[in-house]
Amino acid sequence: MEYIKKAVKTAESDIDKIRGIVQGILSDIKKNREKAVIELAKKFDNWEGEFILSLQKKQRLIDKVPEKIRQDIRFAYEQVSGFAKMQKESMQEFEKETIPGVRLGQKILPMEVAGCYIPGGRFAHACSAIMSVATAKAAGVKTVIACSPPRGDSIAPAVVYALEVAGADIIIEMGGVQAIATMAFGLFTGKPANILAGPGNAYVAEAKSILSSAGKCTIDVFAGPTESAIIADETADYMTVAVDLVSQAEHGYDSPVWLFTDSKELGEKVLEVIPKIIADMPNPDVPASSWRDYGEIILCKDREELCKVNDAYAAEHVQVMARDLDWWTENLNSYGSLFLGEGSTVPHGDKCSGTNHILPTKKAGHYSGGLNVFKFLKIYTYQEISKEANKLISGAASRLSRVEGMEGHARACDFRLRKYFPDQKWNFEVYEQTKY
């Protein structure tokens, strides 16, 4: 492969600095709790009001949302929630007697409390509110706490309406690392989250990662700054490719966009037109920076090499504009979500087609897909083993325990063999436990 354009920066460029800042904030909150959060909210959001959105204020904000926008939000909710419910239906509880006297089962329970982060700042992410909250509710989560940064004197009205439609139980007007910590520690609510979900900037993503690593809660995915890749061959329309790359570059100054192609002509044409498309944007500064610092165009010799490059990058979003879409579906192995054909653009999934837009970044697609209903479910197993079945199960478990050098384990099994079958002669070691 060769680079037609190579990135100046990578996702790891500022990670040490970010981690240090986030660890400092989390330590402060862990020690000083609500007091620290109040000070941080004032510092970063210029916020001095109540954090939990009251019913009266919520209704005032909802009243500001035009009916046409409400209809579109409800449409997006129906698609996302419907897909999540289908996911849940695909997993079943079961119970089966695997051998005589051995009854095994699977039980599925939703988590008690989910904390959902909805980014704010430059954009009013109404669709992100649906992606996390509606999916948690489809899983059956009892209490969903949603945090979103205020824009001025409130969260954006469209975000509030989306949270209401999606079923958020508590809405907190708060953003940043302090919001993530508030949900994890149960500050202001008394309800610590079992799981933190939702996208965010690099600081939010790092806060989720640190709290998860500390065992405070689990997280959905490592969902940091957006990244998108397009795989395109010579049949692709260069303008469609370029427009779609720019559409994702507007997410943030640190949002990588990549083109993987086996057509040098296509790659060079895209390189030529992207600056013109960016210049035509109402706010070209962000996509220009993202493309300059993080954008890449990589030329590969054939589609097999394109697959290898794609899987090495494991991009959050992967679009395929090439022949034989079924072949790509079968052969691509690492990505957050896949968009097949020119008709499927990332904004469809970002907004309303039904699949979730909270997806793994920074190569986490190597081991995880995106947010789904299963992330909010606890899959428990149980077993019941009869006395008669102990002859087989305890016998095998006893012998295997001694293979591993775990004598206590072996004796727990031996005790049952002696108790249930007092007259049995064994052709392997069975310890006779002294009774006290």
User: What confidence tens digit (pLDDT) does each residue in 215-258 have?
Assistant: 999 999 887 778 999 999 999 999 999 999 999 999 988 899 99
CATH of domain 15-220+374-379: 3.40.50.1980
Query: What is the SS3 assignment for 105?
Result: strand
How far, CA to CA in Å, does 375 sit from each of 149, 220, 242, 360?
Answer: 24, 6, 34, 13
Distance CA 82, CA 220 (A): 19
Mean pLDDT across the chain: 95
**95, 316, 366, 388: the active-site residue:** 316
Q: What is the pLDDT of residue 224?
A: 74
| Least confident piece of the model among 4-8, 14-18, 342-346 | 14-18
Q: What is the pLDDT of residue 9?
A: 84
pLDDT above 70 covers what percent of the chain? 99
CATH topology of 15-220+374-379 equal to that of 225-349? Answer: yes
How does pLDDT run across 338-373, given as a tens digit for each residue?
A: 999 999 999 999 999 999 999 999 898 999 999 999
Q: What is the pLDDT of residue 122?
A: 78
Nearest to 248 by CA among 204, 281, 210: 281
The residue type of 82 is: G
CATH of domain 225-349: 3.40.50.1980
Q: What is the pLDDT of residue 254?
A: 87
Quickly state the pLDDT bin for 12 (edges 50, 70, 90): low
Joined tokens for residue 147: 């945090």
How far, CA to CA in Å, does 66 sit from each of 69, 157, 348?
Answer: 5, 10, 22
Strand-strand pairing, 195-197 and 218-219: parallel
Q: Is-catalytic flag, 93?
A: no
Sorted by where each begins, the domain ranges of the chain are 15-220+374-379, 225-349, 387-436
Distance CA 167, CA 136 (A): 9
Q: Is-catalytic flag, 384?
A: no
**317, 330, 357, 407: the active-site residue:** 317
0.75 exceeded by pTM: yes
pLDDT > 90? residue 202:
no
Q: Please count the other Cβ atoms lying within 10 Å of the Cβ belonging to residue 191.
A: 18
Q: What is the pLDDT of residue 163?
A: 98
